[in-house]
Structures are given as structure tokens and as C-alpha cells.
Amino acid sequence: MSDVRMYIPPNKDYQADFAQRLVNAVGFENAIRECYENQWLGTLIHVRYLQQRYGQQGR
């Protein structure tokens, strides 16, 4: 049988939750840096959204 890989879309709820916890733990600037360094692009989108919505209130 051929190896068929299913596309599983990213769990956006998980990414949003992770982004919120990351910002709470390290602040916006460090969260953005971590996302770039680890190539967490889905999480980066949510971090940027939080940053725009709440300003620079992160830790």
C-alpha cells in the first residue's frame, strides 16, 4: 500500500491558548522572539493579535 498522509490542520485553539500562556510567562517581546527562533508561525500570529488587541501590557 502507498503511504498516504492526511493533512491535519493546526489546532488554532491550542495555538491561541499557548500564545496567551507564552505572553503571560515571558512578555510580548520575548514571546515574539521565541516564535521566530522556533518557527512557531501559527503561535506568532496569535501573539501579534494579542499585542495589537492589548497593547504592550505583557509582562
The pTM for the full model equals 0.72
Cβ–Cβ < 8 Å for 23, 52: no
Find, among 55, 46, 48, the residue nearest to 13 by Cα.
46
Which spans in 1-59 are helix H? 12-38, 41-54
pLDDT band at 8 (very low <50, low <70, confident <90, very high): low
Cell numbers describing residue 4: 498516504
Q: What is the pLDDT of residues 33-54, one digit of tens each?
A: 999 999 999 999 999 999 999 8
